[in-house]
Amino acid sequence: MKIRLLQLIEGAKQAEGITVIIDVFRAFSLEAYLMAAGADRIYPIGSAEKVFELKAEHPDWIAIGERGGKKLEGMDFGNSPSSFEGMDLSGKVMLHTTSAGTQGIANAVRADEILTGSLVNASAIARYIKEKDPEVVSLVCMGLSGGKETEEDTLCGEYIRALLLGESIELESRAYDLRYSSGAKFFDPARAEIFPTRDFEMCVEHDIFDFVLKLEYDEDGMGYVKKIIV
């Protein structure tokens, strides 16, 4: 098994084999929490315009979107896991557009299979990949808006790679230390409305879900993520 650790939009374009698009803060941590709360399916979408178009056609679908971390005007929710805490999302269909994670999915055109990646289900991702035993695995760290590398996504990629190789990694302390680097925004009182501290806590949890989120396609050819327990 060849494991490639790639970065940003360019990395997504190069990804081959089973591809994991990683966005810890916050897109794919959020999607895992949404699925755990009962969501039926989530459509990761590159453009906000497409989300609004689909929302107009399906008013009961929930529109989630951000740019620069901030909730997009007209969306039902921003990209915040804590805003959904305690909610029952059974049977709900979600539309999700973000600055990094969903852009990675849109650009991973050479991948054989696409999974979303986060710390909250990293071990499940590794188990799934081991069972599939592909020739190539691409771990794509989406970083900040797909254009700048970030510590949390690289940490997640390194953790999944270590799990696949049977190696150990110093996860706990490195996850904690994110509050002093790329996670510092979650502890800035001036940005608390956009980046609540609770989001940081939820995103740096690891291995709390026993499922992967895999990209599938509906009857109209539109990609959505499906929960697969492993």
Average pLDDT over the chain reads 96
Q: How many CA atoms lie within 13 A of 128 on its CB side?
A: 25
Q: What is the pLDDT of residue 85?
A: 97
pLDDT band at 112 (very low <50, low <70, confident <90, very high): very high
Looking at the DSSP bridge assignments, the partners of residue 139 are 5, 20
User: Mean of the pLDDT values across residues 48-55?
Assistant: 96
Closest to 114 (Cα-Cα) out of 34, 225, 3: 225
Count CA atoms within 13 Å of residue 149 on its CB side: 11
Q: Which candidate, 214, 25, 216, places its Cα nearest to that of 124? A: 214
Give me the pLDDT at residue 145, please.
85
pLDDT at position 81 is: 98
Structure tokens at 176: 């904690």
At 22, is the secondary structure helix, strand, or coil? strand
Q: What is the DSSP string of 115-144?
A: EEE-GGGHHHHHHHHHHH--SEEEEEE-TB
pLDDT 10s digits, 4-35: 999 999 999 999 999 999 999 999 999 999 99
CA 113 vs. chain centroid, Å, equals 15
Which residues span the domain enclosing 195?
2-229
Read off the CATH number of the domain in which 144 is found.
3.90.1560.10
* Res 15: pLDDT: 98
Q: What does the alpha-carbon distance between residue 164 and residue 159 come to, in Å, rounded to a whole number?
A: 9
Query: Would you state the pLDDT for residue 101?
Result: 83
Q: Is the dihedral of CA 181, 97, 132, 227 positive or negative?
A: positive
User: What confidence tens digit (pLDDT) does each residue in 120-160 have?
Assistant: 999 999 999 999 999 999 999 999 988 899 999 999 999 99
> Could you report the per-residue pLDDT of 71-111, keeping only the tens digit for each?
999 999 999 999 999 999 999 999 999 988 888 998 999 99
Please tell me the total count of domains within the chain: 1
Tens-digit pLDDT profile for residues 155-203: 999 999 999 999 999 999 999 999 999 999 999 999 999 999 999 999 9
**Residue 215, beta-bridge partner list:** 225
Mean per-residue pLDDT, 44-50: 93
